[in-house]
Chain A
Amino acid sequence: MFNAIDVLDSSFIKQKPAQLWELISPLYNVDEASWLTQLLPLAKPSKETLQTTTDNATALIQAVRADDEASSMIDSLLLEYSLDTKEGILLMCLAEALMRVPDGETADAFIRDRLSAADWNSHLKNSDSFFVNASTWGLMLTGKVVGMSEKDDGTPANLMNRLVNRLSEPVIRKAMYQAMKIMGHQFVLGRSIKEALSRGKSYRDKGYSYSFDMLGEAALTQQDADKYLDAYMRAIDSVAKDTYQASAANPTISIKLSALHPRYEVAQEARVMTELFESVKNLIIKAREKNVGITIDAEEADRLEMSLTLFAKLYQDPVCKGWGLFGLVIQAYSKRALPVLTWLTAIAAEQGDQIPVRLVKGAYWDAEIKLCQQKGFDGYPVYTRKESTDTSYLACAHYLLSQHARQWIFPQFATHNAHTIAAINAIAGNTGASTAEFEFQRLHGMGDALYNRVIKDQAVNVRIYAPVGSHKDLLPYLVRRLLENGANSSFVHRLVDAKCPIEELTHHPVETLLSRKTLANPYIKLPIDMFEERQNSFSPNIDISSQWHPFEKEVQSYMQNTWQAGPLVSGEKLATDIQHLVRSPYKQSQVVGELNWAQADQVSLAISKAQDAFPSWSAKPMSERAACLLKMADLLEQNLAELVAICHKEAGKTIQDSIDEVREAVDFCRYYACFSQDNLAQAKPYTDFRGNQQQQVFEARGVFACISPWNFPLAIFLGQVTAALVVGNTVVAKPAEQTCLIAMRAVELLLEAGIPADVIHLLPGDGATVGNAITSDKRIAGLAFTGSTGTAQRINRALAARGVDPVPLIAETGGQNAMIVDSTALPEQVVRDAVNSAFASAGQRCSALRVLFVQADIADRVITMLQGAMQELVVADPQFHSTDLGPVIDETAQNKLAAHIETMKKEAKLIGQTKLPEACDQGTFIAPTAFELSSINQLGDEQFGPILHLVRYQASELENMIEEINHSGFGLTMGVHSRNETTCQRIAEIARVGNLYINRDQIGAVVGVQPFGGQGLSGTGPKAGGPHYLAAFMK
């Protein structure tokens, strides 16, 4: 880590760009407090500068507030419908979705859902803005009418009210569309560049300049990427043709890289550096020819390093050399912002062309925090306090305005905060930067009055960042960005809120930050500390080079290894006559190891040993057994690289799937260790039905059998085994025949963690020999099983046939999992989640999506996008970062799936099939395939692989359809994509499934967060990783 203050020394950027590059990645999620300690001196003003800044900010705010036309319509709207009110959120939700809903029935239901829940009346006449009040009147009347269908107590209203409601729906819908159009008009400068240039004229007359952006969703298909590229090309042409004689700088174009390539991801960096490079290069050629500057927008933190590499390649290309109008956006909330700026300065100095840099605070803050918590990263890439981001912003500004930086970087400060403007002016004064050496930027529709004053007061260029495009396409995107920026602390609406004292708006962020007890926000816990009672499992971020390269190297060091497995009874590896070579499912010629299957007499021996060990193991304190699980969790993390290598080679899992597999195993160990100690270690007092005081004592049952599947060969194996062990049972474990090597390694680690050798016994083998010997043994006191429904039934029969007291069978079985999509859903989100749910892990998850039900009104759009997205999937050797899905587990599975595909090709309509590369011939691969069916009844058994089925439905058929799904008897997972909460609630009420996922994918349940397991034919419960699971292993 470098010393931040050194960047103010002009010699710092004389280092080679390659040297400065090395400083960036390690700061990805550096300890926040220590890094801020370094940044603070860069941002801290002198006493005099502080006074100047405060005075100037105060004067600016006073001037703005004195202006009668102070707040723009959006400012007013945000002030009145602040995002901390229910109405504010509801209004935004309507704006996000309504315009894309094609059918009246769903639109009416959505309007009813949103409007009837709010108290619009309370907003009436609070605002001085005509626009806001007009909107409120409309919303209030509408809300009143749509609310008529229910009385205050929620019971249905009388016939007359319902009639009024029904008759008025088309009118209300029309009014709401009109309201949304008005909103769209406020957020979006123009539907085309031509319209934008025309509407922007009045601002340009005032001295503003523009940067136009054809914003929208990221492209999921090449077709969408081509469409966006075309739009940018046309935009450059239009801007070039503009004849406006500006005194201010010329308009520029901002481009979003994720719109220009369907796989703008680190995993596909090779394609990004070639295909996307070519697209942007062509834009640059045209833009340079027309002299229209280009700015690359910033996106999520994981893509930063890749975006910089691409930027450098483009910048250093001959088409760009000597131009000086190719720039990019840097986000100050990123911990890497400052070293990135120094590196940019160095490459600019090396080439001799200035780089325009828009410094923003950052728009994906909550998404970044959420992602890190979900993935178990060891810190955040962004700051956890707003004042820390503001401090970073000023530190970066200080650097950018220093003489040696501004020589090569043209800073463009994007802010709507009067204090930030004053602070930058003060820094510029101190560093001697003239107003010609930087500019300010603001969003279209925001901060009008603030910048009208700035433009009047100082000769500085102000550029408006203006979204251009159809309202229908842009509103969803803009609303999401707005909501993500909608903190109550946001200066935007406090500036125009006369009730907010000016002093509150002129605190210097450095002072605010230093007044906190800690620099990092203690209320936003690190991902690893997310759970109060236990440590979260850890994952390296494989999209960040400083974490990926060392991890990859470590995994590769195990990739040439082979492993051995066989019956492990009382810690002793037993010899057997049945030997197998284990081969990689992605490359049949590759031997992963050798395997000895157990014999029936060894099963009996293992059960005897386990039974003998039971009294002493069950007599140990819960804390002692739990300590072994905690130790096991640590050992799993310490051996992550080797376990990932085995997952690749034996189970054909991709890198992220393998990491997630180990994480889940770690979570099981820690969750069960903590839960057992907290809830099951002591007898629980209760009063019985006769009023007597009693104690409920929890006791282990004896020898538990654990029979686990190949699809989660470590996580489910250990989930079953550790649950049985921690409460005092001894265990005989039969892993799936296909994945015994990793089970062997897991048992070795359990022994290392302190589980006595007589307590856990591993019995690799097939169902006929090992499975039957276990299930027919009268000494088995309970059995945990995950696999097919048919096998669970056979196990149940075998256990019952023993003629002894019934024992618990905890079975997790199959599903026929559906996802329901109505026309309020955002197709891009739907397709992303459906593709992930159906094809991740080659569809070999119990939770995987099998049948996608799409409302007919949007089905064509969804199908087209699905086809495009499937074309982009990469099926290959799972050890490559670029691989999306690997092979299916073996030839039997491959043949069954291939047969289903052939049948469906005759009986259903093929939607799409991903192309398999030639190398796939070496393994058991199945191409991701999607079919359209006329009904779910065309499907028989679950197809456990990457095959998706799609069924269209009419909005009016929703409930019947859910009934049909319930009728199948399976009930594992279901996904729902809808913006209508009433619809989501109704589906939740009637769907008989164990895990329901709303507006997200439907795989990847997390231990202790999303307890997992099905209903009906899909399992007995209790849910694994949930609070009732361990009790089922006890009596």
Chain B
Amino acid sequence: MNANKTQIDTAMQAFPLWNQLGTEQRAERLTNSLNTLTGDARKMAQWQINNALAQIAAKQLMPGPTGESNLLSNQGRGVFISLITDLPTQREQLFTAVVGQVYAALVAGNSVIHHGEMGQTLLAGLEAYLPDGVLQEANQAEHQENLQDIRLAGVCALTDDKNLIEIKQKLANKEGLLCQLVSETDFINYSNQAKPSFIHQFTTEQTISTNTTAVGGNATLLELGSKTD
């Protein structure tokens, strides 16, 4: 097994417990890391955390027949690769975008491997607050190999339109999961990342339907039945 394979194995292993923590606890840990960031990057990280709390933290009780409970919740998808292609953009602007996608991926419950030198900076700021393996950094050169892994749940890429198409084709040509591609090509306004709906690109949903009357009795209905008006 080569080194990259090990990184994805590690990320796969770290994912379930991180995902099970729930959005609020993940948000708390990520919030603790904010003092390692400054400027727009910090604002972006804070915003992604807050946005996740507003958009995906609560379980939604769906309406339906009496005697059953239907809860819709959001979860992380699995392992995400974060990468940057060659771009003529200032480092600071790119770093804000890296923070945007990595914090969004993490707070949503995914584990992340970031390719490129900014990974070291990110990891240095975050590792004290995250369980082992939830965030890893890797060389830029290794991303091609990692992209081929059939277990990847998604890729978040800072890139231009041309490279975006190439990445999409690479992901589509491999077997395994239909890999999500989350991208940002605007490094002034971050028009994709800075939308409330951005977080949903990192999540999958689960519905839990419970027959609450399996043992018998339906307290809710009995209460309605005896309610006076």
Contacts and interface: CB of A to CB of B under 8 A. Distances in A.
B229 interface: yes
B131 interface: no
Interface in B54-81: 60, 62-68, 70, 72, 75, 77-78
B65 A1026 contact: no
B144 interface: no
A1010 B207 contact: yes
B123 interface: no
Contacts of A1022: 200, 205
B205 A366 contact: no
Interface in B39-95: 40, 43-44, 46-48, 60, 62-68, 70, 72, 75, 77-78
Contacts of A1015: 75, 77, 204, 206
Interface string B190-229: 1000111100100111111111011111110111111111
A1010 B70 contact: yes
Interface stretch (B25-33, B112-120, B132-140, B174-182): B174-182
B216 A484 contact: yes
A989 B206 CA distance: 11
A999 B218 CA distance: 15
B126 to A, nearest CB: 18
A277 interface: no
A1017 B218 contact: no
B225 A365 contact: yes
B224 A1009 contact: no
A688 B225 contact: no
Interface in B148-200: 151, 153, 161, 164-165, 168-169, 171-173, 175-178, 180-181, 183, 190, 194-197, 200
A617 interface: no
Contact of A696 (B77, B175, B180, B195): B195
Contacts of B215: 92-93, 96-97, 479-480, 483, 979
Contacts of B70: 1009-1010
A826 B196 CA distance: 45
B20 interface: yes
A1016 interface: yes
B172 A517 contact: no
A325 interface: no
A1005 interface: yes
Given A696-B196, A1022-B205, A1000 B214 contact: yes
B125 interface: no
B125 to A, nearest CB: 17
A805 B161 contact: yes
B154 to A, nearest CB: 10
A751 interface: no
Given A483-B216, A688-B194, A969-B176, A385 B161 contact: no
A584 interface: no
Interface stretch (A16-24, A400-408, A519-527): A519-527
A530 B70 CA distance: 15
B207 A1023 contact: yes
A969 B46 CA distance: 33
Secondary structure of the B contact surface, majority rule? mixed
B148 to A, nearest CB: 14
Contacts of B176: 969, 1017
A92 B225 CA distance: 21
Contact of B43 (A482, A690, A1028): A690
A373 interface: yes
Interface stretch (A210-218, A764-772, A793-801, A907-915): A793-801
A1022 B74 CA distance: 10
A523 B205 contact: no
A97 B206 CA distance: 28
A826 B213 CA distance: 13
A518 interface: yes
Given A689-B44, A1011-B72, A1028-B200, A367 B213 contact: yes
A523 B200 contact: no
Contacts of B168: 800, 806
A1026 to B, nearest CB: 6
A994 B194 CA distance: 27
A562 interface: no
Nearest to B189: A688
Contacts of A799: 172
Interface in A859-888: none
Contact of A530 (B47, B65, B165, B226): B65
Interface stretch (A44-52, A291-299, A446-454, A486-494): A486-494
Kindly name the residue among B75, B151, B194 whose own CB sees the greatest number of chain A CB atoms within 10 A. B194
B226 A686 contact: no
A1011 B204 CA distance: 12
B207 A989 contact: no
B226 A1031 contact: no
A837 to B, nearest CB: 13
Contacts of A374: 65
Nearest to B222: A487
B178 A523 contact: no
Contacts of B190: 689
Given A517-B229, A689-B46, A1031-B197, A366 B221 contact: yes
Nearest to A798: B172
A310 interface: no
B217 A521 contact: no
A719 to B, nearest CB: 16
A688 B210 contact: no
Interface string A961-999: 000000001000000000100001000111001111111
Contacts of A370: 65-68, 213, 218, 221
Contacts of A984: 210
A318 interface: no
A587 B120 CA distance: 67
B205 A994 contact: yes
B62 A1008 contact: yes
B25 to A, nearest CB: 13
A1006 B63 CA distance: 11
Contacts of B194: 688-689, 694
Nearest to B99: A689
Contact of A369 (B66, B207, B217, B223): B66
B206 A995 contact: yes
A906 interface: no
Contacts of A694: 194
Contacts of A1019: 178
B77 A366 contact: no
A989 B195 CA distance: 29
A84 interface: yes
B178 A809 contact: yes
B205 A690 contact: no
Contacts of B20: 989-990
A481 interface: yes
A499 interface: no
Contacts of B65: 370, 373-374, 530, 1009
A619 to B, nearest CB: 22
A1023 B205 CA distance: 7
A998 B211 contact: yes
Nearest to B167: A806
A1031 B16 contact: no
The listed residue with most B CB atoms (<10 A of its CB), out of A84, A524, A800, is: A800
B172 A1000 contact: no
Given A89-B217, A689-B44, A793-B178, 18 more contacts: A97-B215, A366-B217, A367-B213, A369-B66, A369-B218, A482-B217, A486-B217, A488-B223, A689-B100, A694-B194, A793-B175, A811-B178, A995-B206, A995-B207, A998-B208, A999-B214, A1010-B64, A1017-B177
Instruction: Pick the 9 closest A-B CB pairs, nearest first.
Output: A483-B217, A480-B216, A689-B47, A373-B65, A800-B172, A999-B214, A483-B216, A366-B218, A1009-B64
17 contacts: A385-B225, A479-B215, A482-B217, A488-B226, A684-B196, A694-B194, A988-B208, A990-B16, A996-B208, A998-B210, A1008-B63, A1009-B70, A1011-B205, A1013-B205, A1015-B77, A1023-B72, A1026-B205
